[in-house]
Chains A and B, each alone.
Chain A
Amino acid sequence: MTTYIFRRVLQGLVVVWLVSVLTFFLINLAPGGPSSLVDMNTTASQREARLRQYGLDKPVMIRYRDWLVGTVQGDLGTSINGGLEVSQLLRERLGRTLVLGLSALVLAAVLGVLLGVAAALNANRVLDHVVSLISTLGMSIPNFWLGILLIIIFSVTLGSLPATGMPSSRNASWLTWIRHLILPVSVLAFSLLPNVVRITRASFLEVLSSDYIRTASAKGLRRQLVLTKHAMKNALVPVIAILGLISAVLLSGSVVIENVFGYAGLGRLAVDAARGRDYPVIMGVTLLAGTVVVIVNLLTDVLYAVIDPRIRHDH
């Protein structure tokens, strides 16, 4: 197992490095340039001065080498358009995206499992159809549309919830924070919900029809106990797997939500940086996202082995 993990970590490092090479050359070769440089009003002499300041007058190979050397030493550089350190930006934004993403993940997991179980227990009855309708809606309604719709209902018409994802004061109380988070978290959770509901329902139905459940019921255990102790435990393994997958997607999935609700997370940082060709920030975000995906994949594979003894990674 230790050799396996060691090998996977090495592979992961190579993957992240390849991602950095690919991203660096793609963004540098793409047309356009940092928006503080490529602006309608900027004259040629202003552009030259700024190119030199940003070090963009050097050949792209040299720039990549400088970036790699800096990054290995823990210096991700400075945002060209914003002037802030990339590592500081990533720290701030990652924290906020985690708050938004994890809240939505927990909400989607709890609601999704409940609804999925309810649907499985009432398979092909009215409740099942209602749940299936909800998850179809969650699957097909675009995030931004739902976000704006909820803002119109709850903020504009009813005036009961704020339209922004975060308060604009450092002294805001926890309660204020939560009020601001309700809408964005709900929208994000709603879009994650269908996956959880469907997997839970399918997996529960499969487990319910298995022999050991029939045995448990036959030996006279109460239905309640059969469901919670025998069925639930086994049915949740694939659900945990899908939650792992979703959390990797969350990083990018919240981009739209963050824009609609003016929430300063990682997704918006990535979009702004891409639009403004802020090379160091694009590199930082890509590196972070790449690392997260590699780590989540590794963890999932290792967890499989831990949960299911039949899976071995030794050979």
Chain B
Amino acid sequence: MKQLVRQYIVYSLIAMGAVVGVGGSAWAQDYDASAELTFATNADPTFNPWAPGAVIESNLINTILFEQLTRYNPDDLSPVPGLATSWEISDDALAWTFTLRDGVTWSDGEAFDAEDVAFTFNDVVLVEELGAQSANQFDPVDMVEIVDPLTVRFILNTPFSALPYYLASFSGILPEHALGEAENPLTVTSFNKQTPVSTGAYKVAEFVSGSYVRLEPNELYWGEEPKLAALVFRIIPDANAQVAQLLAGELDLVTRLNTQVVENLERNPNIRVLRQSQNLYYWVVLNQNDARFQDKRVRQALLHALDREAMIEAVLEGFGTVATGPIAPLLGALYNSDVAQYPYDPEQAVALLAEAGWTPGDDGIMQKDGERLSFGMPTGQFGYLVPATLLAQQYWADIGVEADVEVIEWNAYIQQVVVNRDYEATLAWWSQPPTADVAPYYSSDAAENGNNIPNYRSEVLDGIMTDGRRATSDEAQVEVYGEMQVYLAEELPYLYLWYPDILSAVNTRVQGMPEINSATAFQFAADWFVAP
């Protein structure tokens, strides 16, 4: 395999790119150094990116606090330097060597070095008993070796070309000197809930449970001096209350907006609504342990029966596009649109079912060998899952397929569907790092126990995904993953519904914030400013 060395432009050039539009003002004191920005989060955060249960409420704050080895390029989401300045892969693709940034200091004055990276992975992420959040994404990593104080080597058990992408996805580095002594580094309350030690441009100044987190500039930050006096995250669980406060000028950014409020917000001259993207898709899964769904023609028929355009209009007010596979168009060259399509076509659906042996019975429901095409479809009370599920039920009823919808409280839904896999069909979504490596959600290993919710098992697909993890050049990845998307669209382990637009609303006074998506925006918090 050809050796691949990626040289990256110096970080400062990217930082400049992010503030383009203010005409070189990055050098002058062209910002209001006393300004504070206020954000919302929906629950008490945990200041530790790997702590069990540290999810949506903590992610953005942790992105500011705990820098990662890599970040996303604000233009195309490819990995760019973070705490690592460059990286290269070995000839056998089983080792990645990262050169760490020199001169980085933790907020308590200790120096950052390879020990911290090794600790984060060897003693936290890769320790199974700790159950670290999203640790399963690093299954291919065996250990992290310290080469010298500013060089680490990730030793893999299988090639993992997407490693630099995953390292940019909520994979903050933890301080060895602060957590190394702890019995469980993920549950140290004085760290997780009070004053964490971090390397980011802002550090925790105050946290009042249930009320707010206040971040102030980290004087020891390695980069340019942060340009704001404080970043405040108010804890506001209610989405309507968040929007009201945005309108009142008390919040500067609200992410994951409900589509219904968009029109109202767009009328406000002080607010800009951003239509952002994420590698996120909604799907219907048909449990592959159920023999009726193992025939791919049945899966294809059920997708043909759904008018996805109309569903997007109905539940998303048009803020979305029909999905063709697990990889969003956002990924550019890696996205392959030249795959099997399933336009709304009930007749084709009935024909496919007939081909698979299903014919209408006396009660109008499709039957085969005395078995009816009728199944349970639990749905959780979250976002628009319930209305979307009810629409699917209607479309299927039109072709003689009966879905028995059961609405369940969200937490109980996850217990039943995800943990116990006690379902026949269900509708939900996946959000993943901007890489085409979808193995955690599709590999046979992840059926039953992991994120492979449909319990789909295919040696062919496993083979393609392994090839993808071996493919280190961009061209090779485009080829392998292009082929993977063709296979998935034909096989439909998941019935792909749509890529929703991710809607955020930001006060026009906020400057220097990358707009591609919020994960990236928060990796470049050091660049944010407010004009005087």
Contacts and interface: CB of A to CB of B under 8 A. Distances in A.
Interface string B185-229: 001010011000000000000101111101000000000000000
Given A35-B411, A92-B209, A93-B210, A53 B240 contact: no
A83 B192 contact: yes
Contacts of B451: 41, 43
A163 B250 CA distance: 8
B248 A163 contact: yes
Given A31-B415, A148-B240, A45 B38 contact: no
- By secondary structure, the A interface counts as loop
Nearest to B417: A40
Given A38-B419, A49-B131, A162-B250, A168 B211 contact: yes
Interface string B229-260: 00010111110110011011110000000000
A39 interface: yes
B135 interface: yes
A171 to B, nearest CB: 9
B367 to A, nearest CB: 32
Contact of B244 (A48, A52, A152): A152
A161 B130 CA distance: 46
A170 B206 contact: yes
A259 B238 contact: yes
B327 to A, nearest CB: 18
Contact of A163 (B46, B209, B245, B414): B245
Contact of A47 (B184, B241, B412, B419): B419
Interface string A44-77: 1111111011000000000000000000000000
Given A84-B193, A162-B250, A53 B211 contact: no
A36 B52 CA distance: 6
A285 interface: no
B40 to A, nearest CB: 8
A30 interface: yes
Contact of A275 (B240, B244, B411): B411
A87 interface: no
Size class of the contact patch on chain A: 35 or more
A268 interface: yes
B180 interface: no
Contacts of A89: 209
Q: Interface extent on B, as a size class?
A: 35 or more
Contacts of A47: 131, 419
B300 to A, nearest CB: 26
Contacts of A198: none
A138 to B, nearest CB: 22
B55 interface: yes
A262 B450 contact: no
Nearest to B432: A41
Contacts of B192: 83
Contacts of B241: 148, 151, 163, 259-262
B486 interface: no
Nearest 3 CB-CB pairings of A with B: A36-B53, A264-B210, A49-B131
Interface of B: 38, 43-44, 46, 51-53, 55, 128-136, 184, 187, 189, 192-193, 206, 208-212, 214, 232, 234-238, 240-241, 244-245, 247-250, 408-412, 414-416, 418-419, 428, 446, 448-451
